[in-house]
Structure 1
């Protein structure tokens, strides 16, 4: 019994650590499904298809941006999703082309978090860069974007 107690104690301490690690190593199919939702979001932007973009969003989705003007403090800006969708769907001279790389995808059950560096172009002209942080939820219709927050800058891109 003396030898069993330390083993049980060690197991109870290490068990959650191993479980947490397993939760951050998603199945390849789930990872691909999460990435596909984000890819569809940006494909819709490039096509000017607000219906396609909207189909990737969870009800009540929220967009934030961290902004800073030279010499001013960083601010947290809330983006109006209806305004964003209207902007995407209204004909504009240059394609909205956000190019993301999937640096990290974490999934636990029906929640996913994606960390993705990006560069944004208006047509072929570079506009800005930064990182997107996506929170997705798996609903009856599949993975949907619930929250996006990003940084924006014109230099020191990845």
Structure 2
């Protein structure tokens, strides 16, 4: 009886500290953005699936929202090359996480600040795939619904 009680207690203890899939997905997004803010190309690449797709929506030269194709490597290299003297932060304002087996979706409204001024804002829609026990970003599309704002 004592052994059974000890086993149940141990399993309960371990389960209370195990990470839910939603938390694991959120941690992947957070880890990507930590590397993003650190201008760490290798760190960002760690969380991106080799076949990942990147899209952006933003007003075109006529002010009409348009979908643009972007290469993840271009984004990563661009962020990594931002001068250290330039302050920037993409503030994720909230998270909505949905998981179904090996597929997850994260919705994160954001504000992008550059040199302490609001540069733009919108939302990220991020799809992730669970590959070999690791959540990887397979699709990211963001919107820019506020351009050139100042604080």
**Same fold at TM > 0.5:** yes
Question: TM-score under structure 2 normalisation?
Answer: 0.78
For the aligned residue pairs, the C-alpha RMSD in angstroms reads 2.1
1:49-107 C-alpha deviation (Å, 9 max, x unpaired): 11111101011111101111474332110112111111122241313311113331110
> What secondary structure is seen at the aligned counterpart in 1 of 2:32?
helix
Which residue pairs with 1:116 in the alignment? Answer: 108
Q: Which moved more, 1:69-78 or 1:59-68?
A: 69-78
Which residue pairs with 1:10 in the alignment? Answer: none
1:41 aligned residue (27, 32, 42): 32
Superposition deviation, residue 120 in structure 1: 0.6
**2:45 matches 1:54:** yes
Which residue pairs with 1:20 in the alignment? Answer: none
**2:93 matches 1:89:** no
C-alpha distance in 2, partners of 1:58/1:101? 24
C-alpha distance in 2, partners of 1:67/1:91? 21
Which residue pairs with 1:126 in the alignment? Answer: 118
Q: Is the 8 A contact 2:103 2:127 kept in 1?
A: yes
C-alpha distance in 1, partners of 2:34/2:91? 10
* Count of residue pairs the alignment pairs up: 130
Which residue pairs with 1:18 in the alignment? Answer: none
Which residue pairs with 1:5 in the alignment? Answer: none
Superposition deviation, residue 154 in structure 1: 2.2
> What secondary structure is seen at the aligned counterpart in 1 of 2:136?
strand
Q: In proportion to residue count, which structure has more strand?
A: 2
The structure whose Rg is larger is: 1
Question: TM-score under structure 1 normalisation?
Answer: 0.75
Which residue pairs with 2:71 in the alignment? Answer: 80
